[in-house]
Amino acid sequence: MGLVMIVFLCLFLALLGFENSAQWNGIIAFVFWLPMLLIHSMNPGYETLARGEVHRGIMAILLIAACHSILQFALRSLINRIYPEEAQH
């Protein structure tokens, strides 16, 4: 699990470095979570179904996706303000 987290962290740090648009950073970060949402909604698991909490899992994934996209957008906007010449390219 730790290796997977490190790989994804490196991917999103690379996204911050290579994509100059703050909007695209936010959109890509949000779209990244959509397959997880699909997987959870198609196969939520027996315990989740038994408790009737499928919607909670979907809402949690959407919340994580929204927070992640806002974070990526904010960080890229901050980088663009600190280094305006980089944002022009």
Q: Tens of pLDDT along the chain (89 residues)?
A: 578 788 888 888 888 888 889 999 999 999 988 988 888 888 887 777 778 888 888 899 999 999 999 999 999 999 899 988 876 66
**Per-residue model confidence (pLDDT) at position 1:** 59
**Per-residue model confidence (pLDDT) at position 50:** 79
Does 10 reside within a domain?
no
6 within 8 A of 41, measured Cβ to Cβ: no
Q: Could you give the C-alpha distances from 23 to 16, 50, 89, in angstroms and in order?
A: 11, 39, 15
Does 6 reside within a domain?
no
Does 77 reside within a domain?
yes
As given in the structure block, the two tokens for residue 9 are 């962290």
Q: Tell me, what amino acid is at 67?
A: C
Does 9 reside within a domain?
no
Does 11 reside within a domain?
no
The residue range of the domain holding 75 is: 19-83
Total number of domains in the chain: 1
77 within 8 A of 26, measured Cβ to Cβ: no
**In angstroms, what is the C-alpha Rg of the chain?**
16
83 within 8 A of 22, measured Cβ to Cβ: no
**Per-residue model confidence (pLDDT) at position 13:** 86
Does 39 reside within a domain?
yes
**Per-residue model confidence (pLDDT) at position 41:** 83
